[in-house]
Amino acid sequence: MADVSPLAPWRGTDCSMDDISNNVFVSTLFSIPGFVLSSIKPDFMHICDLGILQYIQGCVLFDLWRELGGTWKNHQGATTKLLNMLKLQAAALGVEAPIHNLTIFMIRGSGKAKPKLKIKAAEGRHLLPILRQVLLHCMPCTTEHQLLRYRCVDALNSVYLELQQWRAVASTRRIGQFARRHVVLLKELHDSYGDDLM
């Protein structure tokens, strides 16, 4: 899974209709007349908005929270600073901040859980460009890790921008490029933390 190169071995593990029908358990979906495996389409909202987006925002916000001096014993000050930064950058972009309250438990449920921002899908989509602005204007990229963090968020933001400005032929290719860049940067960012929970 961690190998995101074009020649990664897992890329050859796609299932075919024969693979599915030869297994011991066959889902009742296959008894629907005309149903084939290619009928199943990835759902962008669950894959991105309620999936990878919540994790990347949770990790980045948790990282910023620590940089702002946040600790489990004294967490309110850092979360208040983060929320203020988000609101200021939302105003700079001319949009309303999608969240009006932020706690450390919205970012990371406990010290043993992976950071995952607990917000709704639409809130996460609207928060992403604001978080990008925070990284660009409030928390300067003075280290390799900070620059990598910004580039990772920027690549995912590019996917969403392309969706908003869809062009029939070009957008499909461009989204693929932005998504691949994000995945490669996400793997590098994960490695830079040195912590499997991040």
Distance between CA atoms of residues 69 and 64, nearest Å: 9
Q: What pLDDT does residue 20 have? A: 59
Contact assessment for residue 61 and residue 82, using Cβ atoms and an 8 Å cutoff: yes
Q: What pLDDT does residue 23 have? A: 57
147 domain residue, yes or no: yes
58 domain residue, yes or no: yes
| Structural domain containing residue 138 | 43-193
11 domain residue, yes or no: no
12 domain residue, yes or no: no
Q: What pLDDT does residue 22 have? A: 63
**If residue 35 lies in a helix (H) or strand (E), which one and from where to where?**
none
Most distant CA pair in the chain, distance? 59
Locate 60 and state its tokens.
């980045």
153 domain residue, yes or no: yes
Q: What is the CA radius of gyration of the chain?
A: 19
pLDDT tens for the chain, 198 residues long, are 677 777 888 777 776 666 655 655 667 777 788 887 777 777 778 888 888 899 999 999 999 999 999 888 888 899 999 999 999 999 999 999 999 999 999 999 877 888 999 999 999 999 999 999 999 999 878 899 999 999 999 999 999 999 889 888 888 889 889 999 999 999 898 888 887 777
13 domain residue, yes or no: no
Contact assessment for residue 105 and residue 119, using Cβ atoms and an 8 Å cutoff: no
pTM for the structure as a whole = 0.81
Q: What pLDDT does residue 103 have? A: 92
33 domain residue, yes or no: no
Q: What pLDDT does residue 197 have? A: 75
Of 143, 130, 114, 103, nearest to 54 by C-alpha is: 114
DSSP, collapsed to helix, strand or coil, labels residue 56 as helix
Q: What pLDDT does residue 79 have? A: 93
87 domain residue, yes or no: yes
Please count the structural domains in the chain: 1
Q: How far is CA 196 from CA 35, 99, 115, 189, 191, in A?
A: 39, 28, 11, 11, 8
